[in-house]
Structure 1
Amino acid sequence: MISKLDLYKVFCQVGKDKSFSKAAKALYMTQPAVSQAMKQLENELEIRLFNRTPKGVSFTNEGHLLFEYVQSAINLIETGEEKILEFKNLTTGELKIGVGDTISRHFLLPYLETFHNRYPNIKFKIVNGTTLEMCSLLKSGGIDVAICNFPIEDPSLEQIPCLDIHDIFVCGQEYKNELNEPLSLERITTFPLILLEPKSNSRKYIEDYIRSKGIQIEPEFELGSHDLLLEFAKINLGIACVTKEFSMEYLDNGLLYEIKLTESIPKRSVGVCFLESVPLSPASMKFVEVIEGK
């Protein structure tokens, strides 16, 4: 049996053409099939929709009223299908990305440029926050993908590492003169330490690693951004734990100096993550491919 939606599509076509035979031709149906479909619709609604004459058909008052509503509904459905096609073809849409300021500046920007050049009609919405906040937004649907510091201990998230990063300790000129040989982590903790705030995933990684060695850590300063770590260390307020790959401008220009350790901190990574149980939108999928270098 023909579906109710299909019945209404036939109904609209008959109304436009004012003829069963013309509607049948437009819909690639037989004239008897169109006639039978309209009888079915009238029976289901228990009302006559058409006046049938040898010259064709015309609406009854009830049929004309129904036509106005059904035509609007069909047009909305067709518009929705067109919009879906546009999203699939990436000719429109919005991509919501969660990322921290430091990763945005030192990692994400070139990929945004590449993606925008390929798909200029996709709009960006960039949401800033910590890794923990990004994970929460992913689960609530506030963002499509997040660019985060790994590791993330959350089995509901798909995680794709993209860049290896290394945590190092740096200092300004005054401390450099004191530190002429490699230091142990235990010795490092005797200096005034400058670290990110506790809710940062980077801070948690460093703190967990140092404590795994049986060493307690009590920072002198806890700051909200990586750039502030660099600036505080530059003016000799203490020794800062920073991401080497995001600090090269300071290191290369001699504004800060890397402190050699007797034991290097294991590398970690920056990458893209998204909900494992929810399919990515076409725009999100293409964005992940750009970051992966595909």
Structure 2
Amino acid sequence: MIGKLDLYRVFNVVSRKKSISRAAEELYMTQSAVSQAISKLEKELEVQLFYRTSKGVVLTQQGSLLNEHIKSALGIINAAEDKILEFKTLKTGQLRIGVGDTISRYFLLPYLEEFHTRYSGIKLKILNGTTLEICNYIKSGKADVGLCNLPIYDEHLKVIPCKEIQDIFVCGEKYKKITEAPISLENLMELPLIFLERNSNSRMYVENFLKKKGYPISPVFELGSHDLALEFAKINLGISCVIKEFSKDYLERGDLYEIKLEEQIPKRSIGICFLDHVPLSNAAKEFVESINKV
């Protein structure tokens, strides 16, 4: 099939140039090789494609019919090759990213801005969800990559940590006095605690740490977003468990105060994940590398 396609390409150039010699120059072939290619195609199709004249070649009726279809077919092939080149050079394509609101706002946005500036032809699709939902997006083929709170234990996913984070407890002005010295986990449990919802990876990580220390939690509020946890603490509705790196504005402005613990919660990471043993698209590969290089 590849051999015949080459013959059609030669036929197309000869048809356009109306000359064996001029076609040979464009194709970087000898005139003899071009003539042999045309003869071979005529033999395989069992029709005469050109009339040979002293001034060059002229398409026969069958040749004209074939030429119309060949021009169309080669045009489609060339367009496909151009599209493939665009994908390879990241001039076109799509990148689907699964991410939650908090990581999107406090971590991902600068990377998205940089990626879009460099590869404006790549369409970005953001799929919002919890860590569990994002992992399912990736495994079902709905997302190319995901940015999630770690840890993630899934044999189908490759996970690359990309930023270390610290879970802390914060309070508003009403509870400021308890920030003067580190407090025990036992005393912490006596305070009105505010956590994210149960299906949050951040919630599960801190909750598991406290349970291992013998302190099951009973929050007064369970919220759907990190920003709400910050705002609830700010207006003194309780003590919120938040991510320090994503709460800097509140802490630096003095809207919230960090409560020091005698036993600090171990640090963890957020990371980028994608299907293991499945090649990433060029766009996804470039995106992963842009985050992982930091």
TM-score range (shorter-chain normalised) is 0.7 to 0.9
Q: Which runs of 5+ in 2 are unaligned?
A: none
Answering whether residue 17 of structure 2 is matched by residue 17 of structure 1, we say: yes
Percent identity between matched residues is 60
Cα RMSD for the two superposed structures: 2.5
Change in 2 beyond 3 A, CA 1:198/1:63: farther
Compute the displacement of 1:49 (Å): 4.7
Cα distance in structure 1, aligned partners of 2:187 and 2:100 = 31
Q: Distance in 1 between matches of 2:97 and 2:251?
A: 30
Q: Which residue of 1 aligns with 2:102?
A: 102
Give the counterpart letter for 1:40 in structure 2. K
2:53 — aligned with what?
A: 54
TM-score by length of structure 1 reads: 0.87
Q: Which moved more, 1:78-87 or 1:91-100?
A: 91-100
TM-score (norm 2): 0.87
Query: Which residue of structure 2 lines up, in the alignment, with residue 286 of structure 1?
Result: 286
Matching residue of 1:256: 256
> Match for residue 126 of structure 1?
126
1:221 Cα deviation (Å)? 1.7
Q: Does 2:139 correspond to 1:139?
A: yes
Match of 2:267? 267
**1:13 to partner: Cα distance:** 1.5
User: Which residue identity does 1:41 align to in structure 2?
Assistant: L
CA contact (8 A) 1:174 1:236 kept: yes
Displacement of 1:150 after TM fit?
Answer: 1.6
Q: Cα distance, 1:178 vs. partner?
A: 5.4
Q: Which secondary structure state, in structure 2, belongs to the residue aligned with residue 3 of structure 1?
A: helix
> Which residues in structure 2 correspond to 1:1-294 (within 5 Å)?
3-45=3-45, 47-55=46-54, 56-177=56-177, 181-293=181-293
Note the residue ranges of structure 1 that are not aligned, 5 or more in a row: none
> C-alpha separation between the residues in 1 aligned to 2:184 and 2:3?
75
Aligned partners of 1:2 and 1:37 also within 8 Å:
no
Q: Matched residues in 1 for 2:196 and 2:95: separation?
A: 29
Q: For the structure 1 residues 51 and 239, does the alpha-carbon distance in structure 2 shift closer, same or farther, using more than 3 Å as the test?
A: same
Q: Does the C-alpha gap of structure 1 residues 243 and 16 become closer, same or farther in structure 2, counting only changes over 3 Å?
A: same
Shift of 1:267: 0.5
* 8 Å contact from structure 1 (residues 163, 269) kept in 2: yes
Aligned pair count reads: 293
Which one-letter code corresponds to 2:128 in the other structure?
Answer: N
Q: Summarize deviations over 1:158-203 as a string: whole Å, max 9, x none.
A: 3222211000111222233456543333443343321111222212
Q: 1:197 to 1:61 in 2, by over 3 A?
A: farther
Q: Provide the rounded CA distance (Å) in 2 between the counterparts of 1:232 and 1:262.
A: 24
